[in-house]
Chain A
């Protein structure tokens, strides 16, 4: 057992056996995927959000062991999806991006939410992004953007 195998943005990778390493560090330092950011480093801000087998997780407290044999998607990997284009457009139209540091995480949270709940209520949207902090927008624009994306998009996400 001298490596950990997983699929990163659709490609199979074999990473050295470093099971306690934080997924966030592996993504940023080893694979140069810097879309996931380190905000708090303790699971509270969501800037590091990634999808593992279609579910959202904070990569800063996910040990590499937890992605063994799993599908990992970062913001770079979902950029080519049609659902990404819908979310991007909705974020632009609602002015939901200011400084942008929270945005990759917000987009991942939006996608994770819409995958599970294609037509969310306001409450469900708020819960869906409840793990993501934004210091700029005051959240209203982001909530509106998620709602707009849900109205534009067709499931399956």
Chain B
């Protein structure tokens, strides 16, 4: 029986993954709950656990040529407190859980857990963030949306792990993160929207909307977003309703135990509308 491992270095962690099947534990805020058993008994992990908590190389934030590199074990609290963290990500983190959870929770866990309602994933996709994935033999980078393939499903192989997140620091002309849920501190989003607009020479140069909790995974409709590029603000205001209709059709919200399809459609529409109107107001005002 392979034992649980508290890795002391990145090499040790990657070596372990190369040799056996492990369950990776970062903050544990998703996994300790999912594997929970009765009080007084150990959580029901079916595989040995690889703890990343003591791997110093995985902590910290560096900024280099306009890209922020966040070590996989860096807590949401540290990310929220960093002066160069994009405002939209700070706003999102402040709406995630409570201080105690944010002290433990990581972006890597939020991504790898692949929940359709993961709030940070929604914002990271809108920010064009990339994930650095490493194994004992290789390291590569890919966009967050490419890592998550379905509910609780990722492209990560058994010998791979997330070692860092890269966020380009393009300051948007306008951004917003809206989260609709029950009680703030522990509400799983019923629906969330991250929006990012960048205007260059009076034209829309970046238009990114990303929805959480509407379907099996966090979703961005790239085609609809691309249709906005090169347009000016008046066009956006004028075409808003038809844009919203085709957007909603394309993301087709679902029914589940937290909400109905109709509710999600309605709220998704209202959120896009709120986002666009706030943007138009902010630029005209």
Contacts and interface: CB of A to CB of B under 8 A. Distances in A.
B6 A46 contact: no
Given A20-B45, A25-B40, A63 B99 contact: no
B232 to A, nearest CB: 38
Given A25-B40, A49-B100, A68 B45 contact: no
A57 B103 contact: yes
Given A19-B49, A55-B103, A131-B186, 19 more contacts: A20-B43, A20-B49, A22-B43, A25-B39, A25-B40, A41-B36, A42-B33, A46-B100, A56-B99, A62-B28, A62-B32, A63-B51, A65-B4, A66-B28, A66-B51, A112-B99, A130-B185, A131-B100, A132-B98
A65 B24 CA distance: 13
Interface in B103-123: 103-104
A56 B105 CA distance: 12
Contacts of A56: 99-100, 103
A38 B41 CA distance: 13
Nearest to B51: A65
Interface string B81-102: 0000000000000100111110
A128 B97 contact: no
Given A20-B49, A44-B186, A62-B104, A131 B98 contact: yes
Interface string B234-263: 000000000000000000000000000000
Contacts of A68: 6, 53-54
A21 B40 CA distance: 8
B116 to A, nearest CB: 19
Interface of B: 4, 6, 25, 28-29, 32-33, 36, 39-43, 45, 49, 51, 53-54, 77, 94, 97-101, 103-104, 184-186
B42 A57 contact: no
Which 9 residue pairs spanning A and B have beta carbons closest together? A131-B98, A61-B32, A130-B185, A65-B51, A44-B186, A130-B98, A42-B33, A56-B100, A55-B103
A42 B29 CA distance: 8
A43 B43 CA distance: 14
Contact of B40 (A29, A66, A69): A29
A109 interface: yes
Interface of A: 1, 4, 18-22, 24-25, 29, 38, 41-44, 46, 49, 55-58, 60-63, 65-66, 68-69, 109, 112-113, 127-128, 130-132
A130 B4 contact: no
Given A42-B33, A61-B32, A61-B33, A20 B4 contact: yes
Nearest to B45: A20
Nearest to B105: A43
Contacts of B94: 127
A21 B42 CA distance: 5
A42 B97 CA distance: 12
A29 B184 CA distance: 32
B20 to A, nearest CB: 16
A46 B98 contact: yes
Nearest to A113: B99
Contacts of B101: 43, 58, 131
Contacts of B32: 22, 43, 60-63
Contacts of A65: 4, 6, 25, 49, 51, 53
